[in-house]
Chains A and B, each alone.
Chain A
């Protein structure tokens, strides 16, 4: 009886896992097919004669290498600047004592409810006013502060015992030194988690990139992919190759850092 329920559990988990992974598998398989093979019924589940022609086509017809570079630059800049502001703010909200700290923090949490979509109109005006439209700066500057990540990191910082802080202070370490020498190294798992979540968000951002960038030199991958779709027509074997280019870096990042996400989110992010 117990054995059977175990088998059923595995069967359900396997079926679920298959459903989640299948679109990725299908994307890659389709990208390696010829135009003729893509449009066949019944579909073939492995390409008969795998070809990289679709990738070559994508790189030739659209500046995917440029898009890729832009995505890397924008993502790296976003993550670096967000981490910096987040670490400092989380430290202030967890370790420093100042009047109104908790009220301020609570009201910031309330601000988390504001949907980013609501802010695009004025932020667009700001970017236009600063003459930053159609630059990569426009994709970075508005995203240097995150309440959510600060919240996660503050919770993590709070779990580091006070005694450590006081002994370091008595030993004459400044706040700044204590933060970077003691707290940041201890918070590595939480930092990895929020850095990763942040990188994923930046890499995949779409709405804002459509609004503020235009020329191919400044497009990031998702917008580049969308432009590729509208300009080169619906040829699925080619589109799947282009989609693979966009997706694979994040998949690699995720496979390497999966544990950080899971432990980090459960440790710092969610305590009921």
Chain B
């Protein structure tokens, strides 16, 4: 083995010029796309966010400054967006994670019809937010929607989910939990399956009860996966946006009170063409995502030590 490695190394040093070019050639297509459509726009949007009175067509601006940030942070719509996004993340992520943990635990057991169950659970992952959002809009319908019909079976009053501003966010959250479940279940199920079966065999041989096994073995070993799942879900939830189009006909809620951070960004950019503000809100979105990731990594590291 060692000899082969040496042979390969010798072979490479002989062709050192060509060998040095190989990585560059293999990476070029990937890096080009990344540079033009990720790296450059990332740097550029930060620059735009500090350019005052920036004009999109000419690229002219008056000076560098924090005017855009002041405007965004003083804009009630943006603050509304921050609040809604925060609440959305706060409700959707923990609820979806807990439900998914429970379901993944059951799905990981020796059960019949495993394939059928998995198909059912993972199906929403493939759906267009626009299409399935329309279905939810229909189910949330005040007069003939299925959800109000189900509520009426329990004697509850019909809720005006989509036209009463007070219920806009709850409707969005319910839909959000549902659509987050499949991906979360997949990640957690993968985590369950990566746990070495020997731990369980050993624990059972020692006479440990299922509840204790779950708390003492499964959960700690699953902690890194749960942490990762939380990061991914918090990040995706803090970008909630597309759902508003089918549910509220492209408006931020029925009374313009359901802005989200990304909706604000979209609105400032594509509706009002205030690029500076859009850029500033984009940078704030990035800072939020970054902060979430760092907090999560920190917690995850601590958790691992325990």
B-binding residues in A (CB < 8 A):
9-10, 12-13, 16-21, 23-24, 26-27, 30, 38-43, 84-86, 88-89, 91-92, 96, 98, 101, 108, 111, 113-115, 117-126, 141-145, 147, 150, 162-163, 165-167, 169-170, 175, 200, 203-204, 206-207, 210-211, 221-223, 225-226, 229-230, 236, 239-240, 243-244, 246-247, 250-251, 253-255, 258, 261-262, 265-266, 269-272
Contact = CB atoms under 8 A, between A and B. Distances in A.
Contacts of A170: 4, 7-8, 11
A111 B34 CA distance: 10
B121 to A, nearest CB: 5
Contacts of A150: 30
7 contacts: A17-B121, A111-B39, A114-B42, A120-B269, A125-B56, A166-B4, A251-B126
Interface in B223-274: 224-225, 228, 235, 239, 241-242, 245-246, 249-250, 262, 265-266, 269-270
A266 B130 contact: no
Nearest to B261: A117
Contact of A27 (B107, B135, B189): B135
Q: What secondary structure prevails in chain A residues at the interface with B?
A: helix
B122 interface: yes
B95 interface: no
Interface of B: 1, 4-5, 7-8, 11, 20, 22-23, 26-27, 29-34, 36-42, 44-45, 48, 56, 99, 102-103, 106-107, 109, 111, 115-132, 134-136, 138-139, 141, 143-144, 146, 149, 178, 181-182, 186-187, 189-191, 193-194, 224-225, 228, 235, 239, 241-242, 245-246, 249-250, 262, 265-266, 269-270, 275, 278-279, 282-283, 285-286, 289-290, 293
A39 B99 CA distance: 33
Given A23-B132, A221-B128, A272 B225 contact: yes
A24 B123 contact: yes
A68 to B, nearest CB: 13
A96 B27 CA distance: 11
Contacts of A239: 134, 138
Nearest to B270: A211
B245 A96 contact: no
A260 to B, nearest CB: 12
